[in-house]
Amino acid sequence: MTEIQRHRIKFYSKENLATGYELSKAENLFENYNQEHELTLLDLFEFYNIKKYFDNQLFLVKWNGQEKQLYIKIIEQVFKKLKDRLLIIDDTTLESELNQLEYEYYDDFWSLVNNLNIYKNISEKVFAELLKKNQQQIYNILKEKRLVEKFDKAVRAFLMTYDNSAKIILSNTEEKGNVINKETYYFPKSLSLEDKEQIINDFLNTKEPNLNYVRLIKNSKDTSEFKINAKTRLKAKQKSEELSNKILKNENSWEIGISISFSKEQIEPVKYSYENTDLEVISFSEKFIDQFSDNINLFLIFKFLFCYVDQTNLIALVSKQSELSVLERVSMKSKNEYVTGFSFHRKENLASLMLFVYKQYLHRKDNSIESLINSYIDFINNKIKPHKILFQIVSTKTSYLEKIRNVAPAFEFLLKQFKFFVDEKVIDLELLQIDSSATRFSEIYSLKEKKYCYSNHELILKLKYFFFSDQSGLYYIEHFKDKYDNLYDLLTNENVKFEYFENYQKETIESLIRDNYLVVNNEKDVVLNNHILIYIIGEFHKKEVISYWNYHKNIRDEIDELIVKGLVITENTLFTKQEINYLNYYLNKKEFTNGFDLRNKYLHGTNSLSEKDHIADYYKLIKIIILTLLKIDDDIDNQNII
């Protein structure tokens, strides 16, 4: 028999197998198989990978029943040979057998050593020596639980001195779980929390540790698997700042600034421009704002001019997956962090600058943001008479530290009152004062049923990807080059013939036509078929949530059909899930370790001593109050919708 061709048969799950291409290559192995021929260890592992397909009932469609049975019989014969060979491995043959394999089969080797109990034939001394000479094998070994348990002390000793141990620990315990191909590792029981912290400190003490992993340490949360003390966390914070500043000073980086001003001559409400491509200039018209003399309309400037909320009264400042760049989406993140990107920080900087500039404008008019907030509370109370929410920001000349300590508990009480009003239809101040527990944003419900719509249904996700993702590959057409970055924009802005699509795109386009999401019109152009449905899909893509009652009835009717079909679910909370995450990012560290913790740090006295920081924190809190009042007002208005 001729030597078996070296086709690398990789195993994929049933869900991820797109074609039978890899299995078709396997036919060469079967055609050249001869039971009498002695196979190399590499040959045996190639057959073993085909067995993984078969075990998951994955076969080529063109194979008939007889061929399947023949191939299954061959696979079982070869697997027996592989087992027989592996089961005799001991101290004298372990390293030589491993060295016969190529990189892609190391995982399989250690998996079988684990699952077939071959590790019982190996001494801890030989195992430790092999690991010392083949350090990269630790990544494969740590995936096997019984193997780690058997060689507990050897694995611990290795990890205590291995240069990449900190990265392995952090990837397993702190890295965000949706990272592609993220592995699960098992650590020896003898590796204590103190050992792990020592490994982390050794990593931080290296000349230039990887910034991504330093940030994972900084944003880590204490658990039973990973815990570091305040000194180590401070060291990580300082090292993160040091490395970040070094990058910012690098000649390959550049700064992008924002300038906001009020113009006395400008007619347009707002103008956007750029100076030298690195300075965004935004100018608001004083003439436009001057026409509003009452505090209610001046407060609504935050909504209609500053766009703190969008047209459907969702908080526009939240971090959105759709606004992350490709690099930001795939970059390493802590599972404990609030995920942010360039777009999010731009929105936050804009919102903060708008607040400060508006404060100065109001001051020139003998007015204040605090006064606008107090007036808006009265405006809301007029809508819920005879009930009344008690909330007022007292204008005093005390320090900003004292202002925060006064406003923070008042804001907490505001949330309690609205929650009680929704739950009980009254506001009983005496009863409210008995309960001193904090109010969870997720427990504050809406006055309206079916307030928000969400969907993680496979069909909705698929349509989001096809029509709106910049990764779908359906939007690049030679006729229009890089003009668009998603299929929806391409089809709504251009006349696109079916033949314009490449062959690799046509199969998907044809399936969308068969399912009536697209249609070919009389001019032979590919166009959208159900515009309302695709619009809703686009809203889910951009916002991740739909504020049901802020859409026209014909859109709500289409959403209702999706609800009946089980494609969309609804919730009736005051804030969306995304808004709750945003508020938690600002107010506490319950969910995210990279937040501002405004609610707790002033309560526990762990706040900064800088007056500059107090000013910034005070206006962060004011911004949260403004957003909350806009959400409450929207909720009250929505309860009357039919």
Quote the pLDDT of residue 12: 38
The string of pLDDT tens digits covering residues 137-180 is 999 999 999 999 999 999 999 999 999 999 999 999 998 865 44
pLDDT band at 85 (very low <50, low <70, confident <90, very high): very high
Q: Look up residue 202 and give its two tokens.
A: 């050794």
Q: What is the mean pLDDT of residues 69-77?
A: 89
Q: Rg for the chain (alpha carbons), in Å? A: 31
Span 62-81, mean pLDDT?
A: 89
Q: Return the domain boundaries, the chain.
A: 21-205, 292-449+577-638, 452-571
Residues in the chain, overall count: 642
| Mean pLDDT of the 305-312 span | 96
Backbone φ, ψ for residue 317 (5° rounding)? -85, -10
Give pLDDT, residue 202. Answer: 97
What gap in Å lies between CA 515 and CA 467, rounded to an integer?
Answer: 14
pLDDT per position as a tens digit, 333-373: 899 999 999 999 999 999 999 999 999 999 999 999 999 99
Rounded-to-integer distance, Cα 486 and Cα 474, Å: 7
Average pLDDT over every residue of 29-53 = 82
Residue carrying structure tokens 């003998």: 366
Under a CB-based contact definition with an 8 Å cutoff, are residues 59 and 53 in contact?
yes
Q: Residues of the chain with pLDDT > 90: what percent?
A: 73
Average pLDDT, the chain: 90
Q: Give the integer Cα–Cα distance in Å for 198 and 193.
A: 9
pTM: 0.86
Going by pLDDT thresholds of 50, 70 and 90, the confidence category of residue 2 is: very low
In angstroms, what CA-CA distances link 359 with 260, 299, 370?
A: 13, 11, 9
> Rounded mean pLDDT of 594-621?
89
CB 116 within 8 A of CB 86: yes
